[in-house]
Amino acid sequence: MPTSIITTDDLREFKIELLEELEELLSKFHTTPEPISWLRSADVKKKLKISNTTLQNLRNKKIIKGHKIEGILFYDAAEIDRVLLENAVENEGVGHELH
């Protein structure tokens, strides 16, 4: 069985190739998160046209998650939009009559 000698230059070259391959693989999976747009309770109530009690109920039921900082609740605007889309209902014609 022939023996081959590995030099430090060979190891250095292998290391560089390995690091380049790892960087390429990681770059495929790494995405920069988009900045979160935060809404306060008043903004959410206005957007959803709901009362304080309804907003509290949505939080209690874990439908909407609030983040409290020094007594002020903040909501992720994208999460509010997602909840709205997930809970869309078909218009059943209630209150709408065709003439």
Walking along the chain (99 residues) 10 residues at a time, the average pLDDT comes out as: 87 94 85 84 94 96 94 95 86 51
Closest CA to 84 of 61, 58, 60, 66: 58
pLDDT attached to residue 97: 46
In 3-state terms the chain splits into helix, strand, coil percentages (rounded to 5) of: 50, 10, 40
pLDDT attached to residue 88: 81
pLDDT attached to residue 96: 47
The C-alpha R_g of the chain, in whole angstroms, comes to 27
Q: CB count, 10 Å around CB of 58?
A: 19
Q: Quote the pTM value.
A: 0.56
Helix or strand holding residue 69 (H, E): strand 67-69
**67's tokens:** 């983040």
